[in-house]
Amino acid sequence: MMDRYQMDRYQTSPVCPPTPYEQRRLAALRELDLLDTAPSEAFDRITRMAARLFDLPVAAVSLTDSDRQWFKSRVGTPHSEIPRRPTPCATVTESQALLVVEDMLDHPELHDSLLARDGVRFYAGAPLFTRDGYCLGAMCVLGMAPRQVTAAEISTLEDLAAMVMAQIELQHALGRLDPISGLPNRTQFIEDFNDLCRDRAPGSRGMVLMFNLANPDELDAAVRVMGVGYIDAMLTEAVELLRAFLGDGRTIFHVGATRFACIIDSGHERADDQPGQHEQNDEHELAVARLRYMLADHADHGRARFVTTATFGLAPFVVGQASAIDVLRWCHGAAHDALAKPGRVSVYDPQHDDLYKRRFALLNAFGTALERGDQLHLVFHPRVDLRSGVCLGAEALLRWTHPELGPVSPAEFIPVVERSSLIRATTAWVIEHTLAQLARWQAAGLRMRVSVNVSPANLVEDNFAARVIAAVARHGVPAQCLELEVTETAVMEQHQRSAAALHTLAAAGILLAIDDFGTGYSSLSYLQKLPADVVKIDQSFIGSITVDERTRVLVATMIGMSHSLGYRVVAEGVETAEVLDALHWLDCDEVQGYHIARPMPAAAFIDWYQEHVA
Ligand code: C2E
Ligand code: MG
Ligand code: MG
């Protein structure tokens, strides 16, 4: 009975290049992410039980790596791994069969093994098979004396091996399932996407669709009001709807808190039977139309309909040209863009992605520029009194020379920086350098006013006003020499906190201007309560006052109203003598624009200033 496991079947395999089976076996082992992980009680319990049942001192879960036996769990041995050859465990893996060695001394090929040197005489090991039939190693028991095994012991060892494999597969699955929805997660998505790409010919196409149930703000609000249980129910319901829509044959992956993805394999196997651009667009439009229909249904019946805005993002991909991570990122972007699209469905647009990547790269590079300082400088754009022609001062404007890209326009980088926390350091840099410049000019006997642009986020920073006031004092510059330009939108957003900061600054004598006036949504009745001194009418109006009668009337009204509320009025973007003339007639106070001068570095500006001061 015992002979089928006996040592006469024992052979050590010669060292040779891995066979295709061995390569796939090693890949299966590595994919489980088990090697070199910490000990785990779930496995140790089985190993202890094995040693006890056999009444032997040593037991182990031994995995066969390319050149070693690594023990996921062990009792009675100090080694965490031993060389693969010569070991009976490697033989179990290679022969894919249970092995019993009654006495190692009878087998000269094992005499050199570490186990034999440790005094081991007896070995019994059952193979650990994955569901796909790969043998990972052995569940083994070892003794210090020769021994025989009974049939009952053999089946016990096989049961223990099966328990080890169940544990391995359970752990593997757990890392791939979302605990709430029970759906395969992002890790599984990546694996399945890679498998699909391996199976398909390079150049064939597919599409990934992503459903996002809610944006982060909505999710946050919903959790606060209705609790986590409600959100879980909302997600379950959304998955049911998706499944009904996509059909049972498709796998839905839970790839983010409120996000689900599905791989649509278009089935075009070969690059040369690709549909034309026309057909592709038709296909996308069809998909978009169907998804809109599903969203409309969700909006009518879903539990989430009152609290969330669900969207779909689609990302077509070409096998071999995109990674799983790329495609997920594209879908993510498209699902976000869909918030602004009719029907809330959007298809990924590579051009948009390039723009996004450039913005991200700019933001990173700008962070470095701020740290180093040598890529940034200020230019000064003269502000001139319209009636006397005298230069009153300037607006400080930030300039950035990127080491590779060259000069980058603030119209491009400021909006990006404004949406990040870097805006705090940016405004601080501009204010600091402006005040230092003002102090140097003051020391040379030149006293003027310089305005600095401040972003909406600055006004709600902690202690923003106090820090500006302290900087003014530190540089010994009179408060009235600094003017802060804020846009209408800035003062309307979170207006209570912004208004508090503005009042503190005004009380310290710092001047305030409302920039880009006419482009926001502010109400004059609200602005009137702000302690501003100056209104700067946006250049989009000024350019056309000589050609468009309605704009001229609008500007005349803005000037009249601002005057009656006590503001000084500046016209931005004066590009021609005709516009300058028209502004005289409209009784504007101050002008700024290319017709008068271009923004200039400090040294050039001061020369210009001295020629234009009374
Ligand atoms: P802004 O504050 O409205 O600044 C006026 C912009 O219009 C400046 O562009 C200026 O060069 C330009 N400009 C002035 N006169 C004319 C003209 O006659 N014709 C034309 N076509 N343009 C004229 P710039 O320097 O490119 O700045 C663009 C925007 O970037 C600024 O608009 C401001 O919002 C922002 N910005 C610039 N520097 C800073 C800064 O230091 N901090 C912050 N937060 N924003 C800044
Ligand atoms: Mg400005
Ligand atoms: Mg402006």
Residue whose C-alpha is closest to residue 126's, from 148, 151, 96, 146: 96
Per-residue CA distances from 58 to 74, 91, 106, 123 (Å): 7, 18, 20, 10
**C-alpha span between 553 and 559 (Å, rounded):** 10
Does residue 86 have a cis peptide bond before it, meaning omega lies within 30 degrees of 0? yes
Segment 96-112 mean pLDDT: 93
Question: Which pLDDT score is estimated for 304?
Answer: 59
Segment 163-192 mean pLDDT: 87
Coil/strand/helix, residue 530: coil
Tell me, in angstroms, the distance from the centre of ligand 2 to residue 453's CA. 5
Question: Which pLDDT score is estimated for 6?
Answer: 46
Q: Best substitution site from 366, 370, 414 to test ligand 1's pocket, by max atoms within 8 Å of Cβ? A: 414
CATH-assigned architecture of domain 186-348: 2-Layer Sandwich (3.30)
Indicate which ligand has the atom closest to the C-alpha of 537. 3
Tell me, in angstroms, the distance from the centre of ligand 1 to residue 383's CA. 13
CA-proximal residue: ligand 1, atom 34 (nearest): 453
Tell me, in angstroms, the distance from the centre of ligand 2 to residue 566's CA. 20
Q: Which two tokens stand for residue 602?
A: 């400090």
Q: Which two tokens stand for residue 35?
A: 């090697």
Segment 155-171 mean pLDDT: 93
Asked if residue 290 has pLDDT above 70, the reply is yes
Tell me, in angstroms, the distance from the centre of ligand 2 to residue 51's CA. 79
CA-proximal residue: ligand 1, atom 23 (nearest): 573
**C-alpha span between 593 and 597 (Å, rounded):** 6
Contact 256, 180 (CB under 8 A): no
Segment 22-40 mean pLDDT: 89
> 569-591 burial by CB neighbour count: b if 16+ within 10 A, else e?
bbbbbbeeeebbebbeebebbbb
Q: Which two tokens stand for residue 275?
A: 């549909």
Single-letter amino acid, residue 271: A
CA-proximal residue: ligand 1, atom 12 (nearest): 573
**C-alpha span between 98 and 135 (Å, rounded):** 11
Q: Best substitution site from 453, 455, 464, 570 to test ligand 1's pocket, by max atoms within 8 Å of Cβ? A: 453
pLDDT band at 8 (very low <50, low <70, confident <90, very high): very low
Q: Best substitution site from 380, 381, 395, 397 to test ligand 1's pocket, by max atoms within 8 Å of Cβ? A: 397
More confident site: 494 or 12: 494
Q: Which residues, including other chains, have CB under 8 Å from residue 581's CB and lie 6 or more apart?
A: none
CA-proximal residue: ligand 1, atom 3 (nearest): 516
**Beta-strand pair 590-591/568-571:** parallel
- Per-domain residue ranges of the chain: 3-174, 186-348, 359-611
- Determine which of 125-134, 348-357, 559-568 has the lowest per-residue pLDDT on average: 348-357
516 CA closest ligand 1 atom index:
3
Q: What is the pLDDT of residues 218-236, one digit of tens each?
A: 888 878 877 878 888 888 8
Segment 247-258 mean pLDDT: 88
Question: Which pLDDT score is estimated for 7?
Answer: 42
Q: What is the CATH number of domain 3-174?
A: 3.30.450.40
CA-proximal residue: ligand 1, atom 11 (nearest): 599
430 CA closest ligand 1 atom index:
41
Segment 556-566 mean pLDDT: 92
Asked if residue 502 has pLDDT above 90, the reply is yes
Contact 157, 178 (CB under 8 A): no
Residue 2 DSSP label: G
CA-proximal residue: ligand 1, atom 35 (nearest): 410
- Determine which of 34-38, 457-461, 524-528, 592-596 has the lowest per-residue pLDDT on average: 524-528
**C-alpha span between 431 and 424 (Å, rounded):** 11
Indicate which ligand has the atom closest to the C-alpha of 517. 3
458 CA closest ligand 1 atom index:
44
- Average pLDDT score, the chain: 88
Tell me, in angstroms, the distance from the centre of ligand 3 to residue 463's CA. 25
More confident site: 506 or 109: 506
pLDDT band at 267 (very low <50, low <70, confident <90, very high): low
- Binding pocket residue ranges, ligand 1, CB within 6 Å: 381, 397-398, 409-411, 414, 427, 430, 453, 455, 485, 515-516, 539, 572-575, 592-594, 599
pLDDT band at 274 (very low <50, low <70, confident <90, very high): low
575 CA closest ligand 1 atom index:
18
Name residue 600's beta-bridge partners.
380
Residue whose C-alpha is closest to residue 139's, from 49, 65, 214, 66: 49
536 CA closest ligand 1 atom index:
3
Contact 545, 564 (CB under 8 A): no
pLDDT band at 524 (very low <50, low <70, confident <90, very high): low
Tell me, in angstroms, the distance from the centre of ligand 2 to residue 515's CA. 6
**Beta-strand pair 534-537/511-517:** parallel
Tell me, in angstroms, the distance from the centre of ligand 3 to residue 540's CA. 10
Asked if residue 477 has pLDDT above 70, the reply is yes
**C-alpha span between 526 and 491 (Å, rounded):** 9
pLDDT band at 155 (very low <50, low <70, confident <90, very high): very high
More confident site: 494 or 528: 528
Q: What is the CATH number of domain 359-611?
A: 3.20.20.450
Single-letter amino acid, residue 511: L
Question: Which pLDDT score is estimated for 9?
Answer: 42
More confident site: 14 or 292: 292
Segment 307-320 mean pLDDT: 86
